[in-house]
A and B are shown apart, each in its own frame.
Chain A
Amino acid sequence: MSHPKAATEFLKDQANSQWHDETLWMIRDKRDASSKSIPEWEELRNLASEIKDNVLSNLDKYLEQFEAQALKNGIKIHWAKDAKEHNEIVLSILQEKDCEAIVKSKSILTEECHLNPYLEKHGIEVVDTDLGERIVQFLHQPPSHIVMPAIHLKKRDISALFHEKLQTEKGNEDPTYLTNAARLHLREKFLGSKVAITGVNFGVAETGEFVVCTNEGNADMGVHLADAHIACMGIEKIIPRRKDLGVFLRLLARSATGQPITNYNSHFRSPAKGKEIHLVLVDNGRTRQLAREKFKNSLKCIRCGACMNTCPIYRRSGGFSYGSTVPGPIGSILSPGLDMKKYSTLPFASTLCGSCSDVCPVKINIHEQLYEWRQEITKHHGAVGKGLSMKLASGIFKSPLAYQFSGSLMRKVIKSLPKSVIYNPLNIWGKSRDLPKAPKESFQDWYKRNRHE
């Protein structure tokens, strides 16, 4: 489904979509307050961006260094060129361990690879342990936001869901009560799993260690109780030095939710005695993106979600409207690299206001890349949507006479247009919008009157 069609679905529930918009804006506000408490914030963004530039220009060397160190530390390394190979590797480890049920903490990469349905098809029970992810998993939905997977749901939905799945009291919507029910349910899963899967936030080439950040502690509950830990990592998650973590951990949580750091930041270097750590390094289109000069910077992303929270389109259309694993502005520049035809409407789901680039902690030029993707897509698939009005506008802007005439016409029409024309259900544009006050005269007239030579 195209983005505009899917967004229309989301907007049908006006109260819910307004709540979504306001809540994400509140998180953007928290990010602002938090970043402004750090005098060197902009310097940190520059550093993070430069470190990632260096990574992208030496990715092969850092990957080899990372692998050598990790092997020395007793970590087993696997390489997967695509989603299929990634899933096969994970399955083969599970089969080797005779493991039929696993716990998994949040990993956008495993979503991207569609690991859950693959493992389930092979008879393995997968339990997502992040609360938001468990909620959407119960509903057979993907996450709608990379940091807040269930942000599209209201507590009444979750209350009804938990009543059905976890036998909570009917109608009890108290978040503390519902969270506690999930805690008890997941505790059993943690205690019973022989293998735990996590994502990776950062892999350090210098030491071969990798870092996983959570607030709930679910990644650690899983891996420290299991015999084997499988960590799935996109090859772009490499950073050169341990001390670079200082820069990225200062930026990540502040950008994501406004908190100064996530409550748990675990550094895995070697397995505990008698246990195993497997690390799967995944390409799945990343080297192809690296080869695209205009778009390779998208690989600097640290998955904080700040660009989603600030985006006027994301906030008003919801994560599902994008139909891609990573939604929002960053998803709209990553996804066309994976499948340009399937995701052809995404780069158009933007006002190009540039707010995404302004908040990005690694300074990806997101809005410029959105514009560049539009050029690519138009070249390959022809003009998309909004055709007639654009042609009309183009005609008006080309002719000075038409421009002057249409201006004076609009100033009169806006004043006398009855409200029922704009705010009527047939005119989608009128939804949540107000017309500006029409100025009495054009700028040209004003300039003539006020010009003093």
Chain B
Amino acid sequence: MSSREEILNSIRGIQKENKALPDIPNFQQEGDLVELFKSAIEANKGEILSKKEFENWIASTNFQRIISCSEPFHTYATQELPDDAHQLDHLELAILEVQFGVAENGAMWLDDSQLPHRALPFITEHLVLILSKENLVSNMHQAYDRIGRDHSGFGLFIAGPSKTADIEQSLVIGAHGAKSLRVVLF
């Protein structure tokens, strides 16, 4: 007998009382979604920028290697996508669009359609995500309602920059992934 059959058979052999799967109520977050989202991102050590603030910020940097997957921000790109994700190693900035944001925790959803390389939001040194205020939902239940039956090979909620507190519980931003996260909210 294969291990598959052995495992499934031993589960089948156990007498179990059937417990019903509960419905999930439509919980709502109280308060202004934009304000909630902003404070969540800040608590996660990200930053919220207007378009104008983004322009000022990027002018103050001296990035040589920028990739943009957002059409309106394409003028900032300094290079095209490489074929192999390993060549993204020295990327300084990636600009990506997200599908929507979640007010309760600052999480933003992207899938393969926003990610020409799945490694992109992780391997880049700095990350800018583009989000319209119209695309905010209140909490994770609404988030999964919104994703619905969408079929993508990979999907991702990003809520902040890469971080760790593994050394004596001191928070350090920039463990392996992006050292900063900025959200252009318009």
Chain A: residues with CB nearer than 8 A to chain B?
23, 26-27, 40, 43, 47, 50-51, 53-54, 56-60, 63-64, 73, 79-81, 85, 129-132, 135, 148-151, 153-155, 158, 175-176, 178-180, 182-183, 186-187, 190-191, 209, 215-218, 220-221, 224-225, 235, 240-247, 249-250, 257, 259-272, 281, 283, 287, 290-291
Contact = CB atoms under 8 A, between A and B. Distances in A.
Contacts of B43: 260
Interface string B159-180: 1111111111110101111100
B163 A135 contact: no
B146 to A, nearest CB: 11
B76 to A, nearest CB: 23
B50 to A, nearest CB: 23
B117 interface: yes
What are the 9 closest A-B residue pairs judged by CB atoms, nearest first?
Answer: A217-B177, A132-B166, A260-B105, A224-B119, A216-B175, A53-B19, A175-B170, A270-B153, A267-B155
A56 B16 contact: yes
A218 B175 contact: yes
Interface string B24-58: 11010000000000001001100000000000000
27 contacts: A47-B24, A51-B21, A51-B22, A56-B19, A57-B17, A58-B16, A63-B7, A64-B8, A81-B7, A150-B167, A176-B172, A215-B164, A220-B118, A220-B156, A246-B144, A250-B139, A257-B165, A259-B44, A260-B44, A261-B106, A264-B156, A265-B159, A269-B155, A270-B153, A271-B153, A283-B10, A287-B11
Contacts of B161: 263
B19 A54 contact: yes
B167 A242 contact: no
Nearest to B10: A287
Given A216-B176, A220-B119, A225-B86, A264 B158 contact: yes
B154 A272 contact: yes
B141 interface: yes
A349 to B, nearest CB: 24
Contacts of B169: 23, 26-27, 148, 151
Nearest to A81: B3
B177 A220 contact: yes
B176 A266 contact: no
B143 A217 contact: no
B158 A57 contact: no
Given A85-B3, A225-B119, A263-B158, A129 B164 contact: no
B88 to A, nearest CB: 9
A269 B27 CA distance: 27
B172 A63 contact: no
Interface in B117-160: 117-119, 122-123, 139-141, 143-145, 147, 151-160
A169 to B, nearest CB: 15
A273 B151 CA distance: 15
B177 A191 contact: no
A246 B24 contact: yes
A76 to B, nearest CB: 13
A287 B7 CA distance: 7
Contacts of A281: 7
Question: Which of B13, B14, B107, B176 counts the most chain A CB atoms within 10 A?
Answer: B176
B2 A224 contact: no
Contact of A186 (B14, B17, B123, B176): B176
Nearest to A265: B157
B80 interface: no
Contact of A154 (B8, B25, B168): B168
B9 to A, nearest CB: 8
Nearest to A250: B140
A58 B119 contact: no
B178 to A, nearest CB: 7
Contacts of B13: 291
Contacts of B158: 263-264
Nearest to A23: B169
A206 to B, nearest CB: 10
A57 B143 contact: no
Given A224-B118, A242-B144, A131 B153 contact: no
B140 A215 contact: no
A53 B10 CA distance: 18
Contact of B21 (A63, A73, A240, A270): A240
B97 interface: no
Contacts of B152: 269
A237 B178 CA distance: 29
A424 to B, nearest CB: 33
A261 B162 contact: no
Given A260-B105, A283-B7, A216 B162 contact: yes
A35 to B, nearest CB: 13
A135 B122 contact: no
A175 B168 contact: yes
A149 B13 CA distance: 37
Nearest to B88: A225
B144 A243 contact: yes
B29 to A, nearest CB: 9
A54 B18 CA distance: 7
